Structure 1
Amino acid sequence: MVEQETEACVEPSLTAPPPERKAFGGHLPPPTRTIALGDKLPPARRAQSGSSSESEGEDDSKLKVELLPDASRASRRPPLVDCHNYSEFNIHVPAYTGFVAVSGHTAAVASHHHLRIYDLSSSSSPIWNLDSKDGFGTKLKDFKITALEFRPTSHQEDRGHFLWLGTKDGHLIEMDVRTGSVTAMRPHIHAHTVTHMFRHGQSMITVDDTGKVLVFTSAEGVDLSLATLQPRVVRIAEKQEFTKLLGGQLWTSTRDPNGGGSVPGASRGPYVRVYDIFTPGAVGRSLLPTEHLGAVTAGTILATQPGQVYLGHEGGHISIWSTADTDGAPAQCVEVVKVSSSDVLSLEGVNERLWAGSRKGLISAYDVTSKPWTVTNCWEAHNKLPVLRIAVDTWSMEKLDRLVIYSVGRDEQLKFWDGLLGIDWIEQELLKRETEFSTFRDMTVLIVSWNIDSAKPDQLTGTPENVNFLTDVLQSVDRPDVIAFGMQELIDLESRKMAAKTVLLGGKSKSTDGTISQKVTTSYKKWYDRLVLAVRCAMPADSPYTVVHAENLVGLFSCVLVKNTEKIRLKNVALTTVKRGMGGRYGNKGGIISRFVVDDTSVCFINCHLAAGQHHVRQRNADVQAIVEDNTLPSDASAADEIVAFVNGGDGSMVLDHEIVFMNGDMNYRIDQRREAVIASIKAGDLEHLVIHDQLRKEMKFNRGFRLRTFSEGPLNFVPTYKYDRRTDEFDSSEKARVPAWCDRVLWRALVPERVTQLHYRRWEANVSDHRPISSAFRMTVKQVNHEARAHVKAQAMDKWKAVERERLGAALQHYIDQQMI
């Protein structure tokens, strides 16, 4: 096996010459660590074990994986909003130099010297296209716009009509977007570039890059007058990279140590400074997170957690700060959550969800009320390019009867989203009422999984268990509707010649009729022919089967057959492969993913071979993640009758888009016990004790970021299937003396758990390999949708949603009023 070769490489050579002694002074200085005042001391060094080099690094990395929220049930459906008469996707926002303000149907986009005003209720083209070179009809000429925001008004009908602009030269300008004319201005009121504008109650706050903050506040019931009102001046640290008004206080942060950023050599950072700009004479307070984090990129508050502030960081963390300070104490960092492997670039609190934008163009919505956090939505928002900003249009609730969220990406597009995620609520309602528009029937599925260690089919000789294996396993279920064979190590992975031939010819292994090509190695051809013959001999003559999938990936081989009577019901048949060996470049480890849609239910089969090694849990987890999150299956959800087959807003391109998923293979998860203890438990029949220490079961139970956490597995009532001496019942007697383990597994996942029932889960005693084969049979329930009846139920659900929407809009509106954002 590959594992043998890998493990042998780390054994020291007995004939290796002793290392030369370095001259005195030639050694590197011992490593040092700076511990800041007040920091915890590092934990005591653990005692060295025989595999310390492997296990110590693994534990540290594993913690990072475990902290990622569970995304296995997240909806990939974009929550599009339908309140505009014209598409906003035509609005161009230059990346990094473009600024956006939105109020209802009105969108203002500024970039350099240009300002465009859109009214999406009447046109997708700008109603005003202004150039500062003309001065907007004022004496000011050729100014560059660097910030903009709608100011508050005392009359509700005027909201969203008066727009403030900040410029590079420090000017403040007010415009009436209805007429496109300037109504007030204050030239050079800031001596430097205006970088931020915020609206808070009856106040407007402007910030420049030297740390000068102007607070404009009008009397109650009186409109704020830019031309005549004298602002109050507040000083903060200059050149802040992050600045945002949260809960009535100005939160800032920067990378520059002199400006309040990270301190070189310190174990915690970055510094965050908070200013109470509405209290005259108040002094800014410096805060530190509980651990070292990347630079602050965004911040927000949540309606359901009013006493907390959430800050997004480079590196994928979100820090949580408690602001409930009845005695005037500064905010405290109470928790840090790792949510992504890449940076959190943008962040916005929307009801009980935390929306975060990533570098890969995804917007993820996190449910922070559950512990641990879960990802409820994750959709492609900006064409795989960074999501630069997410913001709430707080006036949309009054103007459009919607809670509209808008985002700007590196793709230079402005996108609008439904903050209440109404489409998901409607889909969940449809799922509850599925029986009203669907008919159901049962099918049986037989899955056979075996790492054959390069054995040939003609080696199934000698004992009755070998000779009769294929017949016995196929007849373990009465004429199953679907038979899925998943084999691993069909060729000798240690043979470079054989592996190279498979790599070169594997991509051309299938002919147009789905059968194996003559060009591929004879090992695949022999097993393919043997399996097809076994099915033909084991099944009644009146129940013929057809191969719908046959694929290989170096040592992996998948062959899926269905009854001819079921084949005519199949559609959307597809498969793909995922390479995981050598960093994804080689297919000695990986998976074969195949799928079809039967009636209106999507079914996915995964045959996999994961990383070997007793202690390589993290590598196996990474293989699982790569396979489950692979998106190379062809999507085919254009027709209306196809959409109902896939779940969670998916299009069939990913594994978890499918309603039912079966996963089998040599997953290589081991038992965390000494060999002698494992063998003693096996001889005593105490398998329950071993299950407690099974790595896969522990990952599914305790690792909240594990991608198979939502999968199920039947009881392990059979003896571990690995590793045996060939043609014996003796566990590995080689020098390696490997610990017996349940490497070979079958798991499943169903959107509606009751629709998959396991009929058996067992091992077989064919002994021509170092693994024992296993099989599992299932009864699965598939649906057929009456689309006319579904449309009727959906219309009822949409009517019901209107009442729910009004209630949620009222709660959201009250939150923004309390926060003085309206």
Structure 2
Amino acid sequence: MASFERLRQIWEDRTPGELEQLQKPILNEAPPRPPISTKPSKSSYSSESLPTLSKHRRAPPEPPTSRLAPPIPPKHTKASFSSDNLHQRPTATPSPSPNPYLVERSHTAIPSNSSATLSNNGYSSESDEDEFYVDDSSVAGPQARRAPSILPDVSHANRRAPKLKLYHSVSSKGHFFSAASSNNFVVTGSHHLRIYDASNSNNSDVPFFESPDKDTRITSITFKQSNGSVFWGGTKDGSLFEMDAIDGTCFDWKTYEHSGAIIGIWRLNNHMISLDDAGVLKVWLPVTHSDGSVIPTLKSPTKLFRINSDITFANFLGDKLWLASSTSLSADPNVVKTITLRVYDPIGATYGGQLNLTPNPLIPSSTVQQLAVTSGTVIPSVPDKIYLGHQGGFVSVWNGKDFTFLGALKVSSTQVDALAGVGGYLWAGFHSGRINVLDTNQGSMTDWRVVQTWQAHKEKVLSIQVDTALLETGMLAVITTGADWNVNYWDGMLKTAHVSTELQNRENTFCSFTPVNLLIVSWNTDASKPSDLIDSHKSGFFSKSSNTNNDNSSFLRKALSSTESPDIIVFGFQELIDLEDKKLTAKTMLLPKKKADSALSERISHSYRLWYDHLVMEVERNMPKSSPYVVLHAENLVGLFTCIFVRKENRENLADVAITTVKTGLKGRYGNKGAIISRFVLDDSSFCFINCHLAAGQKHTKQRNQDLVSILEEKVAFANDPVRSELSYVNGGDGSSVFDHETTFLNGDLNYRVDLRREAVLPAITKSNFEYLLNHDQLNKQMETNAQFKLRDFKEPPITYAPTYKYDRKTNVYDTSDKRRTPAWCDRILSRTVHLPRVSNLHYKRYEVNVSDHRPISAAFQVQTKKIDHAKRSNVLLDVENEFGSIFAETINDEKRYYEYK
């Protein structure tokens, strides 16, 4: 078992490599299908002498009334994969007409072994500096390897759940093995079959029909028509039945129709298809009824096929059946099994065509070769691409015509359990219960981004499906089921998110703005104390350069006067305690406060208190007495220290004041790096400030990137802090996440280095050739070449000063120790805003303080804060909703054409 777990970890952590498809499948055109109609006919059914699931039925609910179509976002064009990191493949010519077959997935979850994604965030300590090394991990190309922890960009994702107001969640009375919905009906199957009315606000959780039979386990349910109420069900013993969801009438029951458990039922145009776990596939042919409708029943003729019985995943994607199996390619029992895929065309085979379109099974690339397939889908606007979800959080993409492998991408740190293509986007449900809506139309797979994310279920997501019946009412309704045994309705249009984004773009029409000046001072003190700034001046020791020790004692005075009358002053310090003091660092990281040595605890508290008192004194001494400042925030974390001052007159205008900490390194529990994150709302504008210390070491770019992921994507940073001004946050957020804030500032010892040898850097510094050095700066390179770098949306003012690290203490000489570290701009200040013109930089500079091995820096900004006129905003909101109406209607029509619903 240990060997298996180790191999699984290796495969989960691998990155997209060379295309390893063994052979291309052979495609045969199936003969033409006979013309078929989709008209239903209830007159052909009879319930006489047929078994029923219950003798007790309640009165049927009233059918839902017609509703107007909600808006839909602009439709995306077909995705185009660039050659970056992907192998060349044949070009798929889009079909000019919609998919000729209506496909309804079987609403059955085929169990698969879950696999926890392993990660190791540990890295060496601050003192573990490495020799010169050029990190080219982010460079695009066939050989490029991507860090497995880097996921699609979520920084601009809307975080508000897209609830569908007219329908209500159904909380099942117990667990279920399958579920399906049509119109307002929700059907769940387990040892009981239950039917709910989701349009009933008072009793949506109470089934109006429930079968009393406990001996029959229902494993699969599918509605027979896209807009009908009749559904087929399959059982564990291989039986099939047909019922009406309106009143629970059972039209037919076929006992032991299959020899094994039914694992899938699908509708494909006018055919019904059933599959059991023994690999027996039945195609139910349509028959003509007295009213002229052509539709299959359980008495229809069937065509039987035998396919592979080792099935771990089965679903119709497009008009083909995709099966996944787990196969051992070696006689060695210790070798992990490989995933193989087969594609079948049962309808084509019914009319004389080829059944198995892949005589040689498809084998994914090494990235997902050992990761079981859990789900699959097609995006209606991109019908020629097949998306498969895998354990380990990966999605693989395949050509739907020639079945070639196009690539794989890790989209989550938890397992992908469900996929669905909705409105031009890829919906992905995860083991955590979250759903991400991914925009896959951004060129290469590495450019995928998350447009919306929310916690959809308390437990893992079991299925995601489109309710095709509700398309007639103008709704694109998405129904999800979860292991919390809830069935939830979501707005597939994502109307709220798109309207919110458009309102942000039009804020100038209903907001007034006030300029606010802001000063940020960042410094890695190297465990210096405030007295060191003063004592060095009094001692009069000789510096090795022309500057005098007055730079130390005057540092804070110069910083505070670097910009005129700042409204907000932020001090972000790092290493206020000695991180190389093993006893001190270990105890602060590993021991709870109540167990820590009292003297040691006092020593730590004393260090922070000294700086707090000193900063308060310097602000009082150097800032105008007529406009005093008050401390808004003061927090510390393993050497980090944040202290924020605001003008006293502005304090009453602040809301939602909160502060929190995030540890990184050693899986985020005991690390000696991390961040202090603070926030507040001024007028109607939200601010977030991050003071951080990232992984050290010339070679550790990936660890620094991972630290940023841990800090910036902390989903519950302010989860326990209530907010009073939701309109102050962006992307539908509620202020619980960093990316919910309108303007964010990040400062600290980011530890990104210069990828040049020391011998090349020092002469360039002497000549002030900083542009040359910055071209080799790791932070700049990540921003330019790494599409998924978490600081890519942040902006940094131009650097016009020499590198701030690493100096011999109390000198102006770069490191002369045995390690002779290469000078670098480790200390940085960056900003991020959803409205770039509203933030302008006033200065970005360094100070010649020599009591630390880092030089302090400061940056000043002017930010335009907004005040909302709510009456004007309401009028603009109406205009936006009206404008989106026609776009939403177009998307509804596109969805109808794909599902052949006219």
1:452-507 CA distance string (max 9 Å, x none): 11111122133221121111111010110000001111122222454467569997
Say if 1:746 and 1:57 are closer, same or farther in 2 by CA, change over 3 A: closer
Name the CA distance, whole Å, in 2 between partners of 1:739 and 1:520. Answer: 31
**Aligned-pair CA distance for 1:165:** 1.1
1:766/1:772 contact within 8 Å kept: yes
- Relative to 1, partners in 2 of residues 1:582 and 1:190: Cα closer, same or farther, differing over 3 Å? closer
Q: Which residue of 2 aligns with 1:340?
A: 412
Counterpart pick for 1:456 among 529, 542, 550: 529
Structure 1 residue 800 displacement after superposition? 3.1
Of 465, 470, 482 in structure 2, the residue corresponding to residue 409 of structure 1 is 482
Please say if residues 21 and 363 of structure 2, whose CA atoms lie closer than 8 Å, have aligned partners that are also in contact: no
Q: Structure 1, residues 367-396: CA drift from partner, whole Å, max 9, x if none?
A: 11102211111111112x221211111221
Helix, strand or coil: the match of 2:407?
Answer: strand
Q: How does 1:122-271 map to 2 (within 5 A)?
A: 123-126=203-206, 128-131=208-211, 133=213, 142-152=215-225, 159-219=227-287, 221-257=292-328, 269-271=338-340
Partners of 2:642 and 2:270 lie apart in 1 by: 67
Report the alpha carbon displacement of residue 323 of structure 1 after superposing the two structures with TM: 2.5
Q: 1: distance between equivalents of 2:768 and 2:149?
A: 33
2:372 pairs with 1:298: no
Could you say which residue in structure 2 is the equivalent of 1:724? 807
Mapping of residues 502-513 of structure 1, within 5 Å = none
Question: 2:194 maps to what in 1?
Answer: 115
Contact 2:231 2:242 (8 Å CA) reproduced = yes
Counterpart-to-counterpart distance in 2, 1:618 and 1:695: 11
Distance in structure 2 (CA, Å) of the matches to 1:718 and 1:671: 15
Q: Partner residue of 2:651?
A: 567
Q: 2:428 aligns with which of 335, 356, 380?
A: 356
The aligned runs of 1:433-472 (5 Å cut-off) are: 433-460=506-533, 461-462=536-537, 463-472=549-558
Say whether 1:658 aligns with 2:744.
Answer: no
Q: Which 5+ residue runs of structure 2 have no aligned equivalent?
A: 1-18, 24-129, 538-548, 595-600
Instruction: Give 1:700's aligned residue.
Output: 783
| Residue in structure 1 matched with residue 761 of structure 2 by the alignment | 678
Assess, with a 3 A threshold, how the Cα gap between structure 1 residues 734 and 647 changes in structure 2: closer, same or farther: same
The structure showing larger relative contact order (alpha-carbon pairs under 8 Å, at least 6 residues apart) is 2
Alpha-carbon distance between aligned partners in 2 of 1:632 and 1:66, rounded to the nearest angstrom: 19
For 1:578, which of 652, 662, 675 is the aligned residue? 662
What fraction of aligned residue pairs are identical, expressed as a percent?
40
Question: 2:465–2:479: 8 Å Cα contact kept in structure 1?
Answer: yes
- Take 1:102 and 1:531, find their aligned partners in 2: how far apart are those partners? 62
| Bigger Cα displacement from structure 2, 566-575 vs 292-301 | 292-301
CA 1:752–1:278 in structure 2 vs 1: closer, same or farther (change >3 Å)?
same
3-state SS of the aligned residue for 2:816? Answer: coil
Of the candidates 478, 483, 491, which is equivalent to residue 564 of structure 2? Answer: 478
Structure 1 443/164 Cα, relative in aligned 2: closer, same or farther at 3 Å?
Answer: same
In 2, distance between residues paired with 1:568 and 1:713? Answer: 31
Between 628-637 and 763-772, report the one with greater CA deviation: 628-637
**Equivalent residue for 1:103?**
182
Q: Paired residue for 1:273?
A: 342
User: Alpha-carbon deviation of 1:109?
Assistant: 1.0
Separation (CA, whole Å) in 1 of partners of 2:858 and 2:148: 31
Q: CA deviation at 1:167?
A: 1.2
Distance 1:780 1:262 in 2: 66
The aligned residue for residue 494 of structure 1 is 580
Match of 2:632 in 1: 548
Cross-structure match for 2:452 = 377
Helix, strand or coil: the match of 1:124?
Answer: coil
Structure 2 vs 1, CA of residues 440 and 518 (structure 1 numbering), >3 Å: closer, same or farther?
farther
Q: Offset at 1:547?
A: 0.5
SS at match of 1:449: strand
After superposition, the C-alpha distances for 1:701-756 in whole angstroms (9 at most, x for unaligned) are: 21222211111111121100000011211100011111100000001100111111
2:376 touches 2:386 (CA, 8 Å); kept in 1?
A: yes
Q: CA deviation at 1:55?
A: 7.2
Q: Work out the CA distance in 1 between the residues paired with 2:705 and 2:625.
A: 43
Residue 557 of structure 1: aligned partner: 641
What do you get for the CA RMSD once the two structures are aligned? Answer: 2.9
Code of the residue aligned with 1:113 in structure 2: it is H
Please state how far the C-alpha of 1:316 moved relative to its aligned partner. 2.0
Pairing partner for 2:494 from 421, 425, 436: 421
Partner of residue 750, structure 2: 667
Q: Please give the secondary structure, in 2, of the residue aligned with 1:717.
A: coil
Q: Where does residue 88 of structure 1 map in the other structure?
A: 169
How far apart are the structure 2 equivalents of 1:597 and 1:768? 36
When residues 669 and 549 of structure 1 are mapped into structure 2, their CA distance, relative to the original with a 3 A threshold, is same
**How big is the shift at 1:311?**
1.1
- Whole-angstrom distance in 2 between the partners of 1:67 and 1:458: 43
The amino acid that maps onto 2:522 is S
User: Aligned ranges for residues 32-71 of structure 1 at < 5 Å?
Assistant: 63-65=146-148, 68-71=151-154
8 Å CA contact 1:68–1:704 kept in 2: the answer is no
> SS in structure 2 opposite 1:185?
strand
Q: 1:56 to 1:681 in 2, by over 3 A?
A: closer
Partner Cα separation in structure 1 for residue 412 and residue 847 of structure 2? 42
TM-score norm. by structure 1 comes to: 0.85
How many Å separate the matches in 2 of 1:550 and 1:570? Answer: 16
Aligned equivalents of 1:802 and 1:535: distance in 2?
Answer: 55
2:32 is aligned to none
Structure 2 match to 1:794:
877
Residue type at the aligned position of 2:372: A
CA separation in 2, counterparts of 1:82 and 1:589? 44
Deviation at 1:179, TM superposition (A): 2.3
2:679 corresponds to 1:595? yes
Distance 1:292 1:580, change over 3 A: closer
CA–CA distance in structure 1, aligned partners of residues 410 and 671 of structure 2: 31
Secondary structure in structure 1 of the residue aligned to 2:736: coil
CA contact (8 A) 1:128 1:180 kept: no
Who is 1:609 aligned against?
693
Q: Does the 8 A contact of 2:170 with 2:198 survive in 1?
A: no
- Gaps in structure 1 of 5+ consecutive residues: 1-34, 40-49, 135-141, 154-158, 325-329, 509-516
